[in-house]
Amino acid sequence: MKKLFITSLLSLFTLSISFACTNFLITKGASTDGSTMISYAADSHVLYGELYHWSAATYPEGTMLDVYEWDTGEYLGQIPQVTKTYNVVGNMNEHQVAIGETTYGGRSELGKQPGAIMDYGSLMFIALQRSKTAREAIQVIAELMADYGYASSGESFSIMDEDEVWIMEMIGKGEGYKGAVWVARLVPDGYVCAHANQARITTFPLANGENSITSDDFDKINNPEVNTIYAADVITFAREKEYFDGKDKDFSFSDVYAPVDFGGARWCEIRVWAMFNEVKGGMDQYWDYVKGHIEHEKKFADGSPNPNGFASNRMPLWIKPEKKVSVHDMMNFMRDHLEGTELDMRMDIGAGPFQNPYRWRPLTWKVDGVTYCNERATATQQTGFSFVAQARNWLPDPIGGIYWFGVDDAASSVYCPMYCSITRVPEAFERGNGAMMEFTNGSAFWVFNQVSNFTYTMYNLIHPEVEAKQQTMEKEYIAFTPAVDAGAQSLMEKDEAMAVAYLTNYSRNQGNALLREWKNFYEYLFTRFMDGNVKAPNPGKQNPNLEQPGYSKEWYRIIVEKTGDQFKVVGDGH
């Protein structure tokens, strides 16, 4: 989530407001079942987790659409409405098009464009209401920015449909200009990609009329051979601003408009690395880079020259996985805390006696004038909502798209199936059911926060039970999916509206039942782990069985090392 304009991520994270959004992109050939998938975590300490919904609609000619900034709710202006819009559930529409984002900021002087109407959130949700394919969404986004200005800082978008997955990166032109410069690239089939608050598109094929086109040639966008699309002035604008003076073929979008620094690597790229490392060996070669050690050698790793002094040890934009990715794999990728690495957040002193892989903000602090930082892993406490969008081209659109939705911290949430065609969302997730400063027991966001925040108090004791419950429920949802699909297909042959009503009822029932289940689960956890004890029923007895685990031997040793004889029991024979 974008919260302010930045020159470098290092300067951003000294402030109290931060973002940690993460997107993983999976192509058909890289998934276990031939589906395309993207994931997204909307991370902000002030974002309320709810499931957005816009019904399909028709409008008379001349209708105007009010545009409000997603982050702040500030009114930005009006644009003409189209005559027909599509049903949108969260970040996925009825045609299986889905869009996610991460903010990278980039050059601060490009982050302000007075009079601009289109912020990044509006671009996503308006494009979803107007697009039947990923390529169409790219064109809608590009044209909206060109026509009405771009009101946000640098953004990376994940854009997919049932056949293709694209990464698109953009940044505004700043004061005195209108619109943005951008590049969109098709992730090759069989590959996976990711982005997490650091621009990742570097060099790209220049327009040749076959595989690569500019915004001047949108009439060619549906040519399946086209795999790269970019703003016609993306390089010339950089030259005009004196950001770049090399050869066109060496132009790197990220290195020119959002150079990677310590924060971009350590707090952003490391989340990309964590997913890549799950699906492919050899990622250790990039470990120093994601720890924040940026090199600027005369040659890149592949031996090609580096005449512009760009970062030379970066990870590739995409990789070919050694194992295919399932929808449940995607859910679990969103739960990483750098487990198993030297930066495992459970293992340093900040984890406390119960190995808690969370650190309260601010992200950086100083001791004796030296700046230190916490890690920023994929799973984070400030997530408002996250999703895994799955598109399946062997099914009709109303059935093929599943928006697996969860609120709060992905590590303690449950991804619940919402079909892309549903006409109402569950009350548990509905907009207006509670707010960030309005608690309600009828809101999934608040109930899941109760569980997660209680879990943080004794993480290594409580989280295993949360994880077991979470994994069981998700596996059941996934196992039920073929039967739900079949029922909808049977109805679809008779009446599409009946099939959509069936999927709506199923999705709503699952969401509302999940809320009830998680309320009961919280009650169970609270009675079991209250007051630092671990209790279990003792059949036939008034009192439960009681354990008092205290702290680990290692933590008691740390206490003694820090306090000496302060707590020593006198007369114990030592």
Out of 373, 398, 427, a domain closes at 373
**Region 436-458: what's the mean pLDDT?**
97
Residue 393 belongs to a domain: no
- What is the pLDDT at residue 8? 41
- For 294-338, the pLDDT digits (tens) are 999 999 988 899 999 999 999 999 999 999 999 999 999 999 999
Q: Is the pLDDT of residue 18 over 50?
A: no
Domain-embedded: residue 248? yes
Quote the percentage of the chain above a pLDDT of 90: 94
Question: pLDDT per residue over 145-187, tens digit each?
Answer: 999 999 999 999 999 999 999 999 999 999 999 999 999 999 9
Q: Is there a single domain that holds both residue 349 and residue 497? A: no
The pLDDT tens digits for 72-126 are 999 999 999 999 999 999 999 999 999 999 999 999 999 989 999 999 999 999 9
Q: How far is CA 111 from CA 69, 147, 153, 170, 197, in A?
A: 14, 17, 4, 11, 15
Do 361 and 457 have their domain in common? no
The reported pLDDT for the residue numbered 573 is 63
> pTM of this prediction?
0.95
Tokens at 103, concatenated: 């903010």
Provide the pLDDT for residue 324: 98
Query: Would you say residue 418 lies in a domain?
Result: no
Judged against a pLDDT cut of 60, whether residue 443 lies above it is answered with yes
Q: Give the chain's length.
A: 574
Based on the structure, what is the number of domains in the chain? Answer: 2
What is the extent of the structural domain holding 180?
9-373
- How confident is residue 574, by pLDDT bands cut at 50, 70 and 90? low
**Residue 206 falls within a domain, yes or no?**
yes
Angle at 14 between CA 410 and CA 357, to 5 degrees: 30
pLDDT over threshold 70, residue 503: yes
* Residues 338, 451 within the same domain: no
Cα separation, 446 vs 308, whole angstroms: 50
281 has a pLDDT exceeding 60: yes
Clarify whether residues 502 and 356 are in a common domain: no
Both 146 and 235 in one domain: the answer is yes
57 and 195 within one domain: yes
Calculated CA dihedral for residues 294, 300, 301, 304, nearest 10 degrees? 180
Residues 352 and 477 reside in one and the same domain: no
* Residues 348 and 461 both lie in one domain: no
The answer on 450 and 343 residing in a single domain is no
Helix (H, G, I), strand (E, B) or coil at 323: coil
Q: Is residue 147, in this structure, part of any structural domain at all? A: yes
Confidence of residue 15 (pLDDT cuts 50, 70, 90): very low
Per the domain annotation, does 76 fall within a domain?
yes
Tell me: pLDDT of 11 over 80.
no
Measure the CA dihedral 332/333/335/337, to 10°.
140
Whether a cis peptide bond, with omega within 30° of 0, leads into 362 is: yes
What is residue 167's predicted lDDT score, i.e. its pLDDT?
Answer: 98
In a domain, 57, yes or no: yes
DSSP string covering 299-310? B-TTS-B-TT--
* CA count, 13 A, side-chain hemisphere, 129: 20
User: Do the domain assignments include residue 4?
Assistant: no
Instruction: Give the pairing of strands 192-195 and 228-230.
Output: unpaired
In terms of domains, do 131 and 280 share one?
yes
What pLDDT does residue 9 have? Answer: 42
**Is 340 in the same domain as 200?**
yes
Q: Do 243 and 365 belong together in one domain? A: yes
Rounded Cα–Cα distance for residues 74 and 68 (Å): 5
Last residue of a domain, which of 373, 407, 425? Answer: 373
Please identify, among 345, 373, 401, the residue that sits at the C-terminal boundary of a domain: 373
Helix H or strand E encompassing 77: strand 75-80
Whether pLDDT at 448 is above 80: yes
Predicted local distance difference test score (pLDDT) of residue 302: 87
